[in-house]
Structure 1
Amino acid sequence: MPNTFMPPWWAKSPHIQTILPVFTKVAKPKLQRQRVELPDGDFVDLDWQDMPQAGKPIVIIIHGLEGSAQSHYARRILQACKAQQLAAVVHHHRSCSGEANRLARSYHSGDTDDLQFSLSTLKSAYPQSPLLAVGYSLGGNVLTKYQGEYQDDSLLARAVVVSAPLQLSACAKRLENGFSKIYQSHLIKQLRQKISHKLSDPDLAISMPLSQLEVERLNTFYEFDDKVTAPLHGFDGVDDYYTRASGLPFVSRITKPTLIIHAKDDPFMTDEVIPHSSQLSGYVEYELHAYGGHVGFIDGGTPWKPHFYLESRVLQFLMGEYNLEQSSASPINRDAVAQGNTDAHSL
């Protein structure tokens, strides 16, 4: 059936699509925390909503930059999973669960090692449960890269990627212009605060690649990634990081069913994140919508109580008409994929 999205007249602005969901109240989920100790002495936290029944699927939620289980999109998909009696767990990137991580390093857009460790932990504990994942924004880029890196060894049966910055350098430049600078300023402020906190710890400060004064001068993602992300995570500068961590080159390598959703008006992106049809693996279904903003996709309701497209679409793909045990056996039949309308393209 067609997978179409059209915002109401009052939500066609990409900034309304991006900002209104942040201020829309969503019930706080009841979560149970599981700490996963990593091989390098650090940790990540998994927040569970309901524990899985034997052999039943587990939905893994991978949040975006400086997000968490309390992000608006995470709360909504958790709510949707609960309505369908699906066990769900949020994989927090290092330092994002409300507690600072132990090491000088943190997380980045191409860090698939921590995700693989979390998935391995889940697969070991629940070997009969299919693992399904949805990644948002930065988490979507991580998920795309993971699927392309691990290919048949991916521990995921199916995956959905939402609003992922698949070409990092282009997205960094986009956020330096126009109203998008507001989003950049907000996120950079949060990142600077975390680095300042680590610099206040003498044991961590000696491993940090810059001083507090230099931190205060960081105003763009390009500067932050050049002075902090790249050196802390073993990259040879920001350009090396953007090249090696971007998810776009990995889309063609994916061998497990994966849905990628973008909005053409996303204020975090440019057209460079949009894969050409020749870059799409046969296992990738791609949706490009004319509207939707960044992790927005309001499709109805009122400004006081909006309705959203994402949750139903994500779970439709993850739990739709397919046999979980055979979900990776054959690529998507593109001839059978509905094209929708001019506002939603499935390639």
Structure 2
Amino acid sequence: MQDDDEEAGSNFPPFRQRAPWFGGDLQTLRNIICGGPPDLSGGERRLLQVSAGDRLAARLDRPAGVAAARPLVVLAHGLAGSETSNYVVQSARHLVAEGWPVLRLNLRGAGPSRATSAGHYHAGRTADLSQALRGLPDDLTRRGIVLLGHSLGGNLVLKFMGEGGHGLPVLAAISVSAPIDLAATAARMMAPRNVFYQRYVLAAMKRDALAPGAVLSADERIAIVSARSVFEFDDCFIAPRFGFKDALDYYESNSARRFLAAIERPVLILHALDDPWIPAGCYTAVDWPRLPMIEALLSPHGGHLGFHSRGGRVPWHDRVAASWLERRLTF
């Protein structure tokens, strides 16, 4: 197997695949096959108001025996995820171990937020993110905020940053395996080689949308149950619910690639070019040198939210993220 992966211009150790997880598919499936680490013990439940009567549930974990002298890292999960998703738990564990306070935000209608908020999240619903961050107490935000988004959460975070940060003390952001071109990602998910992935993801999306407590019309329930693809789910449920003409309008309006040039604060983008869910062209087509606030590390390998590397069980993207924060932010 190839052993000399190099990210052009990177100041970080290159990603090297760990046996037996060779190739984008096995890197991606490792999280499903093997699961993740145990969650941190303790943690504080926070409920953050986003609209009248609606609050997003979040979990706060603080480093043991360490004064809160660092910015708060806010994690945004991916599609059909929550604070307990394997990749979210792994990132939280590593960052807390490195001395960072971490808030895991459950998007509207996801996980514990389902009981405290009506409606559903989508790939570009940054108003909820903005309002939730505004609801944080000063003792958590006085040293600033860092956003870290996984997959769909990464697209959300990048769009938020491209919108100017909404006047909030967001110092920097990181995205991992973000579908920055939603239309291209939906098309790739429907490709014949991704039949297994699409069934898995679509089933999770339907479970999320139909879970007890979801507020849906009869027509919306029919649209969700009847969807035969990710595109149909977005076209018949997400788009009309949020006032978009159709799925393509929803994708074009919310794809992070449209917002990258407007980013004015430091951003780290981590992505694997063998990600089976997101076409490499979404990233290789971007003229990264023309985006001075963005550092893009495009690894030849790593899969989707994989990056299971040699030298330890902590995924490469988590180690790089923590190292980048240490270099970019001063305390």
1 CA distance for matches of 2:143 and 2:73?
10
Structure 1 residue 33 and structure 2 residue 45: aligned?
A: yes
TM-aligned CA deviation for residue 137 of structure 1: 0.1
Residues 272 and 186 (structure 1 numbering): CA distance in 2 closer, same or farther, change over 3 Å? Answer: same
Report which stretch shifted further, 158-167 or 263-272.
263-272
Where does residue 337 of structure 1 map in the other structure? none
1:122 match: secondary structure: coil
Residues 160 and 314 in structure 1, CA contact (< 8 A), matched pair in contact too: yes
**Partner residue, 2:6:** none
Distance in 2 between residues matched to 1:99 and 1:123, nearest whole Å:
19
Tell me the alpha carbon deviations over residues 104-142 of structure 1, each in whole angstroms, 9 at most, x when there is no partner.
630000111111112222264534222112110000000
Report the Cα offset of residue 171 of structure 1.
0.3
Q: 1:62 aligns with which of 71, 76, 81?
A: 76
> Cα 1:237–1:101, aligned 2, differ >3 Å: closer, same or farther?
farther
Q: Which amino acid aligns with 1:156?
A: V
Deviation at 1:279, TM superposition (A): 7.7
Inter-CA distance 191–8: structure 2 relative to 1 (3 Å threshold) = closer
Distance 1:295 1:57 in 2: 24
Distance 1:175 1:166 in 2: 14
Distance 1:180 1:235 in 2: 27
Structure 1 gap ranges (5+): 325-347
TM-score, structure 2 normalization: 0.87
Structure 2 counterpart of 1:155, from 169, 178, 181: 169
Deviation per residue, 1:189-238 (Å, 9 max, x gap): 1222344447x97xx444x64343x4332121110001111111121211
Q: Deviations over 1:249-304 (max 9, x none)?
A: 11111000000111111011113421522685210001111100001001126xxx
Cα offsets for 1:285-324 (capped at 9, x unmatched): 01111100001001126xxx84421111011112225435
Query: How many pairs does the alignment contain?
Result: 316
Counterpart position of 2:299: 289
Map of 2:107 onto structure 1 = 93
Change (3 A) 1:287 1:154: farther
Q: Distance in 2 between matches of 1:47 and 1:103?
A: 16
Structure 2 Cα separation of the partners of residues 97 and 40 of structure 1? 20
Q: Out of 257, 264, 268, which is 1:248 matched to? A: 257
Deviant stretches of 4+, over 4 Å: 51-55, 101-104
* Residue identity (%): 25
Q: Does 1:258 align with 2:267?
A: yes
RMSD of the TM alignment (CA)?
A: 2.4
Q: Which one of the candidate residues 2, 7, 12 is aligned to 2:17?
A: 7
Q: How does 1:174-189 map to 2 (within 5 A)?
A: 174-189=188-203
Instruction: Kindly provide the amino acid, as one letter, of the partner of residue 181 in structure 1.
Output: V
1:148–1:89 CA distance, 2 compared to 1 (3 A) = same
AA at the equivalent of 1:251: L
Q: What is the distance in 2 between the residues matched to 1:28 and 1:249?
A: 36
Determine the structure 1 residue equivalent to 2:316. 309
Instruction: Please state whether the residue corresponding to 1:107 is helix, strand or coil.
Output: coil
In structure 2, relative to structure 1, the CA distance for the partners of 1:279 and 1:42 (3 Å cut) is: farther
1:99–1:123 Cα change, 3 Å: closer
Distance 1:186 1:149 in 2: 32
Take 2:178 and 2:206, find their aligned partners in 1: how far apart are those partners? 23
